[in-house]
Structure formats: structure tokens, C-alpha cells
Structure 1
């Protein structure tokens, strides 16, 4: 039998080969045959839409609301079960119910506010100039607060709009201008 020492081709060995730049050290395969162009994890040319950029803020609002509501639920559950003089498994179950209910209520409320704010900000962005970002935030915050409390009556609707305007003012003129916050936007 005659051995073939031709090491060229897809599965070429190391013996006699001088160009090792494209050779995979793990598979002993020349990778230049497998790739025609470089591959990237993120396509730099694709742009995310305005609503798509707000998904992380909406998710964060839901998670923060659930956490804060859960902590308050634990506090309220321990307090209520102590007043009712419950003990054992029944007390643990009641505390868990308070915790889950408080987390769900606060998470849903904060998530709803984040969705309303994002939607109004995106709709205003379609009509307003790009330079008026602070004004868009103030209008979006006011509308969000007013719409969120619109079913509770006119006074609470106006109070919700004022709270939304206050929080949007803190966001637009305080937090958003900080350099550490801008790194995450």
C-alpha cells in the first residue's frame, strides 16, 4: 500500500503544512473553507425603533415594581397575621399570599405606567422635532399620570398629571443629563 502524503484540502494535517493561520487547533480543519465573510454578533447597520428601545425600561419597571410590592407584601403579611394571631402553616401561607399579591399589584401598576409613558413619548416623537426631548418627556409624563388616574375622578386625574409632570421633570432635567445614566440609554 502506498501512503498519500498530500496534506492539502479540507482536512489537511499538520505534517508538511507551512501556513497555519486559518487552521483550527481543535478540529484540525482549515476554517477558510467554512466562512465566506466575517460574522458578527450584532449588525451595526440595523436600527432599533423608538418603541423597541423602551422594552428594557418597561421590563425594568415591572421587575422593580414587583420587588418593591413584594417587600411591602411581606411587611403587611407579617403585620396582619400577627394581629390575627395566626401561627404555623396558615401564617406562612397568608404571608406568602400577601407577598405575591403585593408584588403583582405594584408590578402591574408600574409596568402599565411605563407602557403608557413609552407609547405617548413615541407618538409625540412622530410629530415633534428631535431637539425637543425634554419637552416631549414633560408632556408624556403629564399625559401618562392623567390617563393612569383618569378612572378615579377629575381631581385624582389632575393630581396624577401633576405627579407625572414632576417625575418627568426630575427625569428630563436631573437624571437623564447625568453621564452615568446616559451610558445606559
Structure 2
């Protein structure tokens, strides 16, 4: 039966003959199509970014607010715990009250615990405020761009220092917004000029 099928296929090929010049041109033109550019039309997202996962729905390409909150707060708290702990440990090592090894070890542990917890809590709160502010602006504007990051940072600084008065809160908001604006500008220009690997290394908090 397999031999008969092979003979039938050979007969069909013989009847069809070689492809015409127009058919060859059509086939060669199809080979130049970029599937990554057609992917959104076909309902597949992520093909234009090699190494990234593919999604059927565009909203799946962005993390949800709770995913962002978990990552931002966790990373910020962990970084604050480590950096603050190192700073507190260095203070404990330089303490003049530690006259022997036991007291010096106690001073190091106390300093690391105190400074690490304080900085970790502060950075965790900042990350929480920023994530909520950035997502609120994104929902209001119905758009995801760098302006949400800048506005979210400005609101974060404003709220975080609101108990210190209008002047201090405004200065903190302007400083935080300017810092995020600088980060976003650097990331945008790196991506624009083809340095995608470097632009991805610049922090993005969304």
C-alpha cells in the first residue's frame, strides 16, 4: 500500500510539473516575512523579544499589581536589610564601648540588627507606596509608560515625607520624580540606539 501511495505521489508531481517562475517568486517572498512582526496580528505576544515567554493576550505581558508589589517590596526589604546590617556592623566594630571581644561582638550584632531592620522597613514602605501610586496612575491614564514611573515616584516621595511639612514633602517628591525620570531616560535612549542588553540592565520597577 505504501508503494502505491508513493507511485500516486510521483504521478501527481509529474502531472503538476516544475513550479512556474511566478510560484517561485511567491515562495521566495514568503520566506522574507518576519513572524515577530506578525505575531500580535495572530494573537501571540512576545516573539519580538527573543528569550521572552510568549503570551496569547497582551495584558499577560505585564505583571499584575500584586506581583509587582511582592517583587518590589521583597527586593527592597532584602536590600535594606543587607546594606543596613553592614553599616550597623561597621558601627559596632568602631564602637569605643567595646573593650573586649564579647562586647565587640554584641555591639556588631546590635548595630546590624538595628540598622538593617530600620533601612529594610523604610525601603519596603517606599516600594509599597511606589507600586500603588504607579499602578493607580497607569489605571487612570490607561497607559503603561515612563511617565507613570515618574509620577509614581513623585507621589511616593510626597506621601512618605508628608508628615515633615509641605516644603519637605514637595522637595522629596521632586527629587524622587527626577531620579526616576533620569533612569527612564537612560533606559529609553539605550534601547533607541540599539543597546538593548544595557537598557534591560537599567532597573524597571513595573
TM-score, normalised to structure 2, is 0.60
Residue number among 124, 130, 134 corresponding to 2:143 in the alignment:
130
Determine the C-alpha separation between the residues in 2 that align with 1:125 and 1:51.
14
Structure (1 or 2) with the greater helix fraction: 2
Query: Is 1:53 aligned to residue 53 of structure 2?
Result: no
Question: Structure 2 residue aligned with 1:106, among 86, 109, 119?
Answer: 119
On the 8 A contact 1:51/1:122 being kept in 2, the answer is no
Partner of residue 83, structure 2: 68
1:167 paired residue among 179, 185, 197: 179
Quote the offset at 1:160 in angstroms.
Answer: 1.2
Q: Give the CA RMSD over aligned residues.
A: 2.5
> How many residues matched?
141
Please give the residue correspondences for 1:80-95 in structure 2 after superposition, counting only pairs within 5 Å. 81=95, 83-95=96-108
Partner residue of 2:168? 156
Shift of 1:44: 5.7
Q: Distance in 2 between matches of 1:50 and 1:58?
A: 12
Could you list the runs of 5+ residues in structure 2 that have no partner in the other structure?
1-52, 191-195
Confirm or deny: 8 A CA contact 2:98 2:107 kept in the other structure: no
Distance 2:69 2:183 in 1: 15
Query: Structure 1 residues 102, 152: CA separation in 2 closer, same or farther (over 3 Å shift)?
Result: same
- TM-score, normalization: structure 1? 0.66
Change in 2 beyond 3 A, CA 1:175/1:85: same
Q: Is the Cα–Cα contact under 8 Å of residues 176 and 182 in structure 1 kept in the other structure?
A: no
The runs of at least 4 aligned residues of structure 1 exceeding 3 Å deviation read 42-48, 175-178, 180-185
Q: Check 1:85–1:52 CA distance in 2 against 1; reply closer, same or farther (3 A cut).
A: closer
